[in-house]
Chain A
Amino acid sequence: MDTPLSMSRETKSRKPFNFLNFIERFGLVFVWILIIGIFALVLPGIFFTWTNFSILFATQAPGAILALALVIPLTAGDYDLSVGATLTLSAVTIGVLNAVNDVPLFLAVLAALAAGVVVGLVNAFFIVFVRIPSLVVTLGTTSVITGLVQWMTNSSTIGGISPTLIDMVGRGRLFGISYAFYYVILVAIVIWLVFEYTPLGRRILFVGRGREVARLSGIDVGRVRIGCLVASAFLSSFGGVIYAGLLGAADPFSGLNFLLPAFAAAFLGATAIIPGRFNPWGAVISVYFLATGITGLTMLGIPLWVTSAFNGCALILAVTVSQFARGREETDLG
């Protein structure tokens, strides 16, 4: 059972370059490049173009922010299914306040973000205090929010959101790519820094992997979980702001369409960059990896229903692969 003593001597010296480890960390990136290459060959002159990719980077930004939002509670061991509905709620709040009731844009955005925080607090109350499984609570709040949104919008798209927002998100460009993409990168950097370079990030990790260990080490487990759930709802509503800025309108339905790809990306991302852990860069790469696949397939003329099937398969496959990457170890997710 005991590990041979000789190993300690070997590992004293700097570890040699570990090829398998490298493949595991960057395999997803290679596969991404590979499918870009394949589509570029099959669709010469249409697929591998700057226009195509700049559109891809911009349109997937809300989904990428949702995936990043998910990474936080998943790391702390809680699911949050309500991210998609929260995104819609936020976009619609801006629409109703700014476009319909002429509230200044700044205040409308602030209200949208506040709505997200409220959703997060409601989730946290039922999950942490009432101790209902996060899956059940957030499934419930999703439905509640969806109903609320239909009431707010009368189930129709609201146009006419202030062009300032559109300039700040969709129309404004840097190196030919909409600002929307850079917001994603910004959020990813913040999460990455918190996860890797702050004691808080480590505490979140311990709360997710070993609640009892965390508690007995003096970590306030409840507070960490509440914080993570509020953070994810806040980021989802930020995603809603981005979405409204891309469309210039508030669409009461399509926010939920981002949910499944975001989950798939969060889990698929856990197989890359820092394998075995939910991590922001893995999640962002996965969002664009999945979107690349769908864009390519769509250009090949594959019917629309394939998109749903593709995302579903990707989610299950991603979870399967990440389960193997973790050596099928138990998690405290639930």
Chain B
Amino acid sequence: MSNATTVPALQVSGIAKTFGGARALKGIDFEVAPGEVHGLLGQNGCGKSTFVKVLAGFHPPDPGGEISVFGRKLPLPMRPGAFREFQMAFVHQHLGLVPTLTVLENMRVASVTERKAIIDWRAERRAAQATFDRFGMHFDLSARTGTLSQTDQALLAIMRASEDLRRSDAETGGRGLLILDEPTPFLPKEGVDRLFQLVRQVVDHGDSVIFISHDIDEVREITDRATILRDGEVSGTLVTKDSTHDDFVEGIIGRRVARSVTEAPVAAGRKVKARVTGIREPELEVPEFEVAEGEILGMTGLLGSGYEKVPYLVFGARTSSTGKLELDGRSYDLSTITPKEAVARKMALLPSDRPKASGVPTLTIAENMLLLDMERFLGKLGLNRGAMRRRASDLSSEYEVRPNDPSLRLGQLSGGNAQKVLLAKWMIRDPELLMLDEPTQGVDVGTRQQVYGVIRNAAKNGASVIVASSDAEQLADLCTRVLIFARGRIVDELTGSHISKDNIAEACYGHTTLDVA
């Protein structure tokens, strides 16, 4: 044991990863000490998730770097799944539990799926119970996992991962490295506390933990040290107890921000076009916000802050329990509004899940583009297909869809071009209220500006636009006003010259606990 403590749990040196021309990781070095909880944080796109995927064997890193776990060098690139042989276990945000199976089945899945003829359920039950006992937890082994609270499920997943570490060989004294990849954003505050308690127990049993999070306060509470990534590089490793909140913010954003106290005047003289009031959901409370004619309103926040649900609630894509929308003087009840009604009232919603919710990849460009506009081509003899083809082709050149061949399937286009097709689909209806969720997700950098151009144009023509996005740079580029969400509430509003990438990021990180105080 005393010998082992000198060997770092994880040693990373010179790990780089290039996607196409973009360098997601520019050669990072850091160390996790044995028995420590080590935070890993940074903004979206800083390279955290790329690093986790390299570690798990999903992405082969660029040649040249090295990773050692408890002194054993990993063979890079790793086979997916090979991390198990190196005393590592991962708990991802989606936990990897099957909700329809029982707690016992989920806990013992590794053992139960082994190649053996007969499962000894009594032994499995004892083993699972032993794990719970070790952590002092009580769970009904025959309960369906999906019926448990989100917190309990997270605890189960962590206990299972810790158990997997124990199963690996005794070479390192049965100790391992547990990687928790953003397990907390969707947990209530007391759930986070229980999770942290469990993490401390895991460490007491001799394991080391990497805790990945957006939330500075959580990182400050649970970690011993933390490594911060910025733009694919390590911007620093902080000893938690010697660092302030501002030290973390500076590490993440790259400068010390003086909080501006003066608020810019709201763009005056504009007519309010849409007003949303009284949204009250379990994880989201929005008393009121307004969007003016020609305004592009941004909504953002950290993962789990709930901002991205707002467009879906307003459009009726998700049923809200309460709330009202006033649009051009007419009032709609958000608990009864349907997408059909929303479309008829000239609202538009471009969801972020493009292939599932936004466009059908197996149908053609023309079909996707003109879905909402078919009545215009309806003559006495049915749909005028020639005119539809010409219209689709014209729209494709107007929206610079490449290649311009409306008979191609949507799935054959690049992400950016598919997005242009779907923007065209909604724009031809001249929407009064245009809502977009992550409008440039999976869109190549080259086409981003074209997407922005379309959005700006809609606003110029008098539409009210809501952009929900996790991309601070994009919001700074597009928006006239940005609402910052934290833990399901609007906590800040940036306007005019105060909108910048850094201010947005700073506001997101700065407000993680304001509402608790």
Q: Which residues of A contact B (CB under 8 A)?
A: 1-3, 5, 7-8, 10-12, 15, 193, 196-199, 202, 205-206, 209-210, 212-213, 215-220, 276, 326, 329, 331
- Name 17 interchain pairs, CB-CB below 8 A, sorted by A: A2-B416, A2-B417, A3-B413, A193-B382, A196-B385, A197-B385, A198-B382, A198-B383, A202-B367, A205-B367, A213-B358, A216-B317, A218-B340, A218-B343, A220-B340, A326-B362, A329-B361
CA distance A8 to B385 in the complex (A): 22
- Residues on B with C-beta less than 8 A from A8 are 402-405
**B375 adjacent to chain A (CB < 8 Å):** yes
Give B422 Cβ to nearest chain A Cβ, in Å. 9
| Residues B414 and A206 in contact, CB atoms below 8 Å apart | no
- Residues on B with C-beta less than 8 A from A218 are 339-344, 372
- Residues on A with C-beta less than 8 A from B382 are 193, 196-198
Most buried by A among B351, B358, B402: B402
- Residues on A with C-beta less than 8 A from B402 are 2-3, 5, 7-8
- Residues on A with C-beta less than 8 A from B363 are 205-206, 209-210
**B517 adjacent to chain A (CB < 8 Å):** no
CA distance A5 to B417 in the complex (A): 12
**B444 adjacent to chain A (CB < 8 Å):** yes
| Residues B417 and A3 in contact, CB atoms below 8 Å apart | yes
- Residues on A with C-beta less than 8 A from B371 are 202, 206, 217
Instruction: Report which of B315, B344, B405, B416 forms a contact with A11, defined as CB distance below 8 A.
Output: B405
Kindly report which residue of chain A lies nearest to residue B396, judged by CB atoms.
Answer: A8
- Residues on A with C-beta less than 8 A from B358 are 213, 216
Instruction: Report which of B315, B344, B357, B405 forms a contact with A213, defined as CB distance below 8 A.
Output: B357
CA distance A76 to B415 in the complex (A): 26
Most buried by B among A8, A216, A276: A216
Give A250 Cβ to nearest chain B Cβ, in Å. 37
Also in contact, A209 and B360, with CB within 8 A (given A218-B342, A218-B344): yes
Kindly report which residue of chain A lies nearest to residue B344, judged by CB atoms.
Answer: A218
Give B445 Cβ to nearest chain A Cβ, in Å. 10
Kindly report which residue of chain A lies nearest to residue B315, judged by CB atoms.
Answer: A216
CA distance A218 to B315 in the complex (A): 10
- Residues on A with C-beta less than 8 A from B378 are 198-199
**B356 adjacent to chain A (CB < 8 Å):** yes
- Residues on A with C-beta less than 8 A from B385 are 196-197
**B82 adjacent to chain A (CB < 8 Å):** no
Kindly report which residue of chain B lies nearest to residue A12, judged by CB atoms.
Answer: B404
**B446 adjacent to chain A (CB < 8 Å):** yes
CA distance A234 to B81 in the complex (A): 53
CA distance A12 to B340 in the complex (A): 36
Chain B 340-382, CB-CB to A under 8 Å as 1, else 0, gives 1111100001010100111111110001000110110010011
- Residues on A with C-beta less than 8 A from B444 are 1-2
- Residues on B with C-beta less than 8 A from A217 are 339, 343, 371-372
CA distance A122 to B61 in the complex (A): 57
- Residues on A with C-beta less than 8 A from B341 are 218
CA distance A215 to B359 in the complex (A): 11
Give B400 Cβ to nearest chain A Cβ, in Å. 9
- Residues on A with C-beta less than 8 A from B20 are 1
Q: Which 9 A-B pairs have the closest CB atoms?
A: A197-B382, A218-B343, A210-B360, A199-B374, A7-B403, A218-B340, A11-B405, A209-B360, A8-B403
Instruction: Report which of A199, A206, A215, A329 forms a contact with B411, defined as CB distance below 8 A.
Output: A329
| Residues B446 and A2 in contact, CB atoms below 8 Å apart | yes
| Residues A216 and B357 in contact, CB atoms below 8 Å apart | yes
Chain B 309-344, CB-CB to A under 8 Å as 1, else 0, gives 000000101000000000000000000000111111
Most buried by A among B20, B340, B385, B411: B340
| Residues A199 and B339 in contact, CB atoms below 8 Å apart | no
Chain B 431-469, CB-CB to A under 8 Å as 1, else 0, gives 000000000000010110000000000000000000000
Instruction: Report which of B344, B351, B367, B446 forms a contact with A216, defined as CB distance below 8 A.
Output: B351
**Which of chain B's residues 161-207 have a Cβ closer than 8 Å to chain A?**
none
CA distance A280 to B359 in the complex (A): 25
| Residues B403 and A213 in contact, CB atoms below 8 Å apart | no
- Residues on A with C-beta less than 8 A from B411 are 329
Kindly report which residue of chain A lies nearest to residue B408, judged by CB atoms.
Answer: A11
CA distance A253 to B381 in the complex (A): 42
Kindly report which residue of chain A lies nearest to residue B374, judged by CB atoms.
Answer: A199
CA distance A153 to B359 in the complex (A): 50
- Residues on A with C-beta less than 8 A from B315 are 216
Give B430 Cβ to nearest chain A Cβ, in Å. 15
CA distance A3 to B416 in the complex (A): 10
Give B281 Cβ to nearest chain A Cβ, in Å. 19
CA distance A10 to B403 in the complex (A): 9
Instruction: Report which of B339, B367, B403 forms a contact with A3, defined as CB distance below 8 A.
Output: B403
- Residues on B with C-beta less than 8 A from A12 are 404
CA distance A41 to B341 in the complex (A): 63
14 additional contacts (CB under 8 A) given A202-B383, A216-B317: A2-B444, A3-B402, A3-B414, A3-B417, A11-B404, A196-B382, A198-B378, A199-B374, A199-B383, A206-B363, A213-B358, A217-B339, A218-B340, A218-B342
Give A10 Cβ to nearest chain B Cβ, in Å. 8
CA distance A304 to B339 in the complex (A): 54
| Residues A199 and B381 in contact, CB atoms below 8 Å apart | no
CA distance A8 to B372 in the complex (A): 25
- Residues on A with C-beta less than 8 A from B375 are 199
| Residues B360 and A206 in contact, CB atoms below 8 Å apart | yes
CA distance A196 to B446 in the complex (A): 36
| Residues A215 and B362 in contact, CB atoms below 8 Å apart | no
